[in-house]
């Protein structure tokens, strides 16, 4: 007999008399679960033992857990419910529970951290009242069809990755994400929408199908990157004025248009590279200052940044297409007036291959700056590594 089972009668009595308990427990069978469900508020963390099988219920009086609720590394549970549970002050973690097909918490609206990971049979979330408060959301490696039941009003960080069946990520009510937003390798056609999001830190988007961020006005402290999204045709952030870190748009084969109509300042690197179908770059009309490298490479026939005044690190513009006289008439004069770095400057078109900064141009060329055979002088870390480290380099 477990020590937990010995203590449970006293806990149940306390729950009936006062509506609260103060213990941390491991549920080993349905009897343990029934005893805890008799408490209105449980103070402490609750863990479900790995050997508990099939169906498990915390249905009853339990409305609040002042701690964590952990269900992980269990190969047997198929259905779990907590019918009256409204609030978890700590983490709700359901991780590596491959057989679970029903997760029912119809009254739950508030949790500090929600972690769902390694759920091979869970298609839908049964959060009927909708979770509106969750500071840390982490959903990875599931077969969820959607995120119905999660409608956050606020968040510190959101990570949604490797959920191949999710085709819509739509957070209608969030205005601010204080730490990070990372969406990676969900359905390749996934529609991403944050219609009233105004500010965020460290936005990283990989393999998305569409993007709707009309209200975003500032990236605080961190970076903004869009990578490896072959089905994405357009990126538009019409109200984004400033990025305190880096802006990186790379390896998006279907991308045809970039539009940052209000963007004036990028404090670290601005890199646009290897977007096969992006032939014109006219979507940075108000860009004035780049704090590190301005690194543009691809098959461009037109490049315009008419408001550009200062690049502090490296300037690299390489195109396999004919970019006309933009080098001689616009960028060269900026370089000559010390607004672009003279020693770390390349502006070339009609190349056999267009390379990122730090890689020497190749083939015949038109334009000015360092000619083929001369590298820019400093290298930019590979965009395939993401944004880490980009914002602090190339200031020498």
Residues 300-323: pLDDT tens digits? 999 999 999 999 999 999 999 999
The pLDDT value given to residue 383: 36
Give CA–CA dist 346/246, Å, rounded.
20
Neighbours of 154 (CB within 10 A): 14
pLDDT tens for each residue of 330-349: 999 999 999 999 999 999 99
Q: What is the DSSP letter of 381?
A: P
Mean pLDDT to the nearest integer, 44-50: 96
Burial 198-236 (b: 16+ CB within 10 A, else e): bebbbbbbbbbbbbebebbbebbebbbbbbbbbbbeebb
Average pLDDT (98-106) is 98
Name beta bridge partners: 182: 159, 204
278-308 exposure pattern, b = at least 16 Cβ within 10 A, e = fewer? bbebebbeebebbbbbbbbbbebeebebeeb
3-state SS string over 99-156?
Answer: CCCEEECCCCCEEEEEEEEEECCCCCCECCCCEEECCEEEEEEECCCCCCCEEEEEEE
pLDDT of residue 360: 77
Q: What is the mean pLDDT of residues 343-367?
A: 85
Statement: residue 364 has pLDDT above 80: no
High-pLDDT (> 90) share of the chain, %: 82
Q: pLDDT tens digit string along 251-286?
A: 999 999 999 999 999 999 999 999 999 999 999 999
**Amino acid 250: pLDDT:** 98
Judged by phi (left if over 0) then psi (alpha if -120 to 50, else beta), residue 118 lies in left
Name the pTM for this structure: 0.88
Q: Compute the average pLDDT of residues 67-94.
A: 97
Closest CA to 235 of 205, 211, 204, 254: 211
CA distance 316 to 368: 11
The rounded distance, in Å, linking the Cα atoms of 83 and 97 is: 20
């Amino acid at each position: 007999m477990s020590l937990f089972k010995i203590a449970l009668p006293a806990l149940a009595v306390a729950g009936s008399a006062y509506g609260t308990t103060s213990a941390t427990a491991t549920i080993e069978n349905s009897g343990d679960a029934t005893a805890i469900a008799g408490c209105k508020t449980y103070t402490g963390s609750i863990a479900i033992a790995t050997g508990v099988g099939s169906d498990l219920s915390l249905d009853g009086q339990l409305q609040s857990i002042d701690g964590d609720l952990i269900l992980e590394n269990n190969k047997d549970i198929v259905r779990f419910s907590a019918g009256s549970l409204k609030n978890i002050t700590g983490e709700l973690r359901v991780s590596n529970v491959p057989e679970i097909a029903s997760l029912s918490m119809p009254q739950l609206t508030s949790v500090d951290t929600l972690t769902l990971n390694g759920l091979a049979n869970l298609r839908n979330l049964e959060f009927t009242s909708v979770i509106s408060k969750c500071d840390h959301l982490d959903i990875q490696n599931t077969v969820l069809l959607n995120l119905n039941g999660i409608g956050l009003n606020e968040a510190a960080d959101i990570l949604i990755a490797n959920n191949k069946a999710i085709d819509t990520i739509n957070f209608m009510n969030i205005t601010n994400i204080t730490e990070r937003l990372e969406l990676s390798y969900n359905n390749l056609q996934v529609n991403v929408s944050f219609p009233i999001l105004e500010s965020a830190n460290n936005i990283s988007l990989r393999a998305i199908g569409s993007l709707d961020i009309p209200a975003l006005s500032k990236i605080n402290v961190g970076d903004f990157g869009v990578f490896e999204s072959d089905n994405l045709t357009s990126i538009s952030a019409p109200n984004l004025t400033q990025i305190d870190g880096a802006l990186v748009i790379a390896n998006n084969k279907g991308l045809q248009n970039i539009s940052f109509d209000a963007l004036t300042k990028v404090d670290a690197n601005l890199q646009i590279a290897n977007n096969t179908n992006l032939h014109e770059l006219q979507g940075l009309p108000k860009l004035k200052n780049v704090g590190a490298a301005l690194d543009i490479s691809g098959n461009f026939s037109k490049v315009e940044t008419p408001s550009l005044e200062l690049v502090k690190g490296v300037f690299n513009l390489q195109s396999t297409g004919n970019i006309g006289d933009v080098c001689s008439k616009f960028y060269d004069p900026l370089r000559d007036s010390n607004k672009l770095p003279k020693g770390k400057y390349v502006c070339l078109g009609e190349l056999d291959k267009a390379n990122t900064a730090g890689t020497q141009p190749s083939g015949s060329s038109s334009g000015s700056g360092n000619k083929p055979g001369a590298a820019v002088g400093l290298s930019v870390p590979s965009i395939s590594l993401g944004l880490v480290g980009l914002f602090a380099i190339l200031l020498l």
